[in-house]
Amino acid sequence: MSKPQDLVELKEQQYKDARSKESFDHFHQRTRTRRPDFVYEVVRILMSLIAWVFFRVRGFNPERVPAVGPVILAPNHFSFLDHFFLGVALRRKVHFMAKSQLFKPPMSWIYSHGGVFPVRRGFADEDAFATAATVLGRGDTMAMYAEGGRSRTGEPGKKAKRGIGRLALLSGAPIVPVAIVGSSRVRNWKRGQFPKIRVYYGEPFAYERVAAPNRDQEQAAADAIFAKVRELYDAATKAA
């Protein structure tokens, strides 16, 4: 198990983006009206090779992810590579929210064509939820980190952000908890340290749809989802 002193320190995060919400409208519009294109497949191939060769990624029980219909993947979050580790074992294309600060040329074009759309952290970003709901409404796959940002401690966070609870209640889509084990040490790659990554997919479950959930309902659902993620993570680390 990783000790905090063994981890390369993460840079301080920038939580607010000074750009207006209108600056991101075209990214949302693209995701709402078009699915990921060839860019997703190119990035998937390249990143899968990196994941297999350097990080020896292995997925456990990916068949638990429904093959058709809307689904929310709910993983823990340590590394910027978790997006790729999550999808290596899956045939389905996965959409992601990513902090809006990342959406700058030329990477913004790659993100947008690859199924990634922005969320303005530090704001009540209704556009991001509308886009996520649209993705699920057409029967596609969304990934959302219950913790919000990356954990800096080498262990999953202690509290969930209520956003994932809101999305689960609004959509009624099945939720698959996911434990990504080992990625807390990915940031050590510059030291020549490439940890083994293991991705465990849990049993799907769902909530009955709620048209207008309140904050307490959203937080309760988020906490319950993250409890399943932590349970899966704890079981996986004990078995390792």
In order of 114, 134, 146, the CA distances from 69 in angstroms are: 19, 13, 21
Work out the end-to-end distance of the chain between its first and last CA atoms, rounded to an integer number of angstroms: 10
* Confidence (pLDDT) at 209: 95
Q: Which pTM value belongs to this model?
A: 0.90
Query: Among 6-10, 61-65, 150-154, 213-217, which stretch is predicted with the lowest mean pLDDT?
Result: 6-10
pLDDT of residue 153: 79
Write the pLDDT tens digit of every residue in 9-40: 555 555 688 898 999 999 999 999 999 999 99
Amino acid, single-letter form, for residue 125: D
> In terms of Cα–Cα distance, which of 172, 199, 168, 174 is closest to 76?
199
What confidence tens digit (pLDDT) does each residue in 187-214 have?
Answer: 877 777 899 999 999 999 999 999 999 9
> For the domain with range 19-239, which CATH number is right: 3.40.640.10, 3.40.50.2300, 3.40.1130.10, 3.40.50.720?
3.40.1130.10
pLDDT given at position 5: 47
pLDDT digits (tens, 9 = 90+) for 83-128: 999 999 999 999 999 999 999 999 999 999 999 999 987 787 899 9
What's the token pair of residue 67?
């093959």
- In the predicted model, is pLDDT for residue 144 greater than 90? yes
CB 93 within 8 A of CB 74: no
What value does the mean pLDDT of the chain take?
Answer: 91
Is-contact 123 18, C-beta < 8 A?
Answer: no
175-181 vs 198-201, strand pairing mode? antiparallel
Q: What percent of the chain has pLDDT over 70?
A: 93
Q: Does position 162 have pLDDT exceeding 80, yes or no?
A: yes
